A and B are shown apart, each in its own frame.
Chain A
Amino acid sequence: MHPDLRYLSVLIVAAAMWSGAAHSTDLRAAILANPCAGCHGMDGVSPGTIPSINQLSADAIVAALKAFKSGERPGTVMDRIAKGYTDEEIQRIADYFQSLKK
């Protein structure tokens, strides 16, 4: 790493701490995963009849979404939704929910 850049990363971390969460959050992942919360509850914790997904591991979320996507697992609505994402995006969404557990 170039010395300038090392200094820069310190600055960015400082900026992140200074102005809050935005830079520690992967915004692209958040944008992909946030709409799921309208049904599954904020951060995947559901207050109602739709299952919570916050307790699932990233692998379990990936497996479920891929199974809905391929039609292997039936669903009332998840089959239609899972088809809207690439496998890479599914991984990203699952990792995002996993990251909330820390």
Chain B
Amino acid sequence: MTNFSRREFLKYAGALSALSAFGCASMGGASGPRIVVIGGGFGGATCAKYLRKLAGPTVGITLIEKNSSYVTCPFSNTVIGGLRSIDTITHNYETLAKKYNIEVVFDTVTGIDATSKTVTLQGGKTLAYERAVISPGIDFKWGAIEGYDEAASETLPHAWKAGTQTVLLRKQLEAMADGGVVLIAAPPDPFRCPPGPYERASLIANYLKQSKPKSKIVILDAKDKFSKQPLFQDAWDNLYPGMIEWVPGSQGGKVTRADVKEMTLYVDNSAHKGDVINVIPAQKAGALAHSAGLANESGWCPVDPRTFESKVHKNIHVIGDACLGGKMPKSGYAAHSQAKVCAAQIAAMLIGQPPVDPSWINTCYSLIAPDYGITVAAVYRATADGIVDVQGAGGVSPREAPKSVRQAEAIYAEGWYKSVTADAFS
């Protein structure tokens, strides 16, 4: 305490009176400043909850989400593979509202005005904020593959936002005859969940091997390499020999056109016919990030790596898939980890403290079979070059490992899912 300077004292005193200025804010019984969080996914739900934990009971917290329930993309590949039902990956906002005194509003945000610090809802309301946090996830670059738009996705599902699309792809696989061909068009970087398309191929193969063993899966990839590639390919050779074919972008994998009627994907002029076709399109930050002017020419949102405050608009923080998070991948765990850092920094800023030195963890579990799990993990720090992974730490599961280790990682994958969803939603 003896190091406390007069200047810091003034800052605290200032913070106090600033807080009192909000004394009459009315919503949710909170008397402090109001933080509006937009998007109730891994980023937004976690941030709202940890704001309550870290910034105390008087801060007003509003969470605005389009849908009244949230179906997680993590573990949606197990639904597609027939290992789980969709209701086991569906979560709601009751605990956040009741236990954490978060005002949950089910509506779509149509605009954010950074100057007047207000948010406009489709339902007509306007809400004022002291700080806003947005975690809108991704949207697709419809048309990047000619002929593939939202209407086409009702026949050739993307299943890259979980819910009805997930169930549709599952039903198509169930309806497919033995000996059928499943095509997966994998997207160019950057996209949410880098190992996701390959986990999906694995769990579809696990289903086909048991139920339709003459069938095949062809992955047409826009890229020449992918996450945890050697681990996936070793396991495919072992568990699903001859079943999964991966075509890299430079060798005819880059899909340029989709023909819905003909159930065909084209790579320039060569045609690939499929019985079930999963097109995972190229991606950009969620639409709101663009309409609010928060994204740059990359299609994603530049942010301060310590606080996630937008580099475009002050007092708006962008977290999760939508932000440019340095070396962190676009994953649920990354969004969750960023949300906690963002909440802590806002808690500090609300009382006039400088941001704290942050750190993050990401781990992506992938299931190749129900009893075969692998991971990629990293610990991250903020540096002058943005968010980078700590050298000498992290990395992927060992390439040589006994079956028991793959089994343990599959069991821990389930544990991770339970922990992370509880930490975000209950």
Q: Do A and B bind each other?
A: yes
Check A38 against B337 for contact (C-beta < 8 Å). yes
Would you call the interface of chain B mostly helix, strand, loop, or mixed? helix
Chain A residues with CB below 8 A from B312, complex form: none
Would you call the interface of chain A mostly helix, strand, loop, or mixed? helix
Q: A20-B57, A20-B58 are in contact. Are A15 and B415 (CB under 8 A)?
A: no
Residue of B nearest to A74 (CB): B405
Residue of A nearest to B15 (CB): A15
Check A22 against B423 for contact (C-beta < 8 Å). no
B55 within 8 Å of A (CB atoms): yes
Chain A residues with CB below 8 A from B56, complex form: 19-22
- Residues of A in contact, count (CB < 8 Å): 44
- Shortest distance from the beta carbon of A84 to any chain B beta carbon, whole Å: 3
- Shortest distance from the beta carbon of A61 to any chain B beta carbon, whole Å: 16
- Shortest distance from the beta carbon of B6 to any chain A beta carbon, whole Å: 8
B268 within 8 Å of A (CB atoms): no
Residue of A nearest to B374 (CB): A76
Q: A12-B12, A20-B56, A42-B422 are in contact. Are A35 and B414 (CB under 8 A)?
A: no
Chain B residues with CB below 8 A from A77, complex form: 363, 375, 377, 397, 409, 412
Contact with B along A1-37 (1 / 0, CB 8 A): 1101100110110010011111101011011101111
Q: Which residues in B have some Cβ–Cβ distance to A below 8 Å?
A: 1-2, 4, 6, 9, 12-13, 15-16, 19, 32, 50, 53-59, 333, 336-337, 340-341, 344, 347-348, 350-351, 353, 356-361, 363, 375, 377-379, 390, 392-395, 397, 405, 408-409, 411-412, 414-420, 422-423
Q: Which residues in A have some Cβ–Cβ distance to B below 8 Å?
A: 1-2, 4-5, 8-9, 11-12, 15, 18-23, 25, 27-28, 30-32, 34-42, 46-50, 76-77, 80-85, 89
The 6 closest A-B pairs by CB, nearest first: A20-B56, A84-B379, A48-B418, A49-B415, A84-B393, A48-B415
Provide 14 A-B residue pairs closer than 8 Å at the C-beta atoms, listed in order of the A residue.
A8-B12, A19-B32, A21-B56, A21-B57, A28-B356, A38-B420, A39-B412, A39-B416, A41-B419, A50-B412, A77-B412, A80-B394, A81-B363, A84-B393
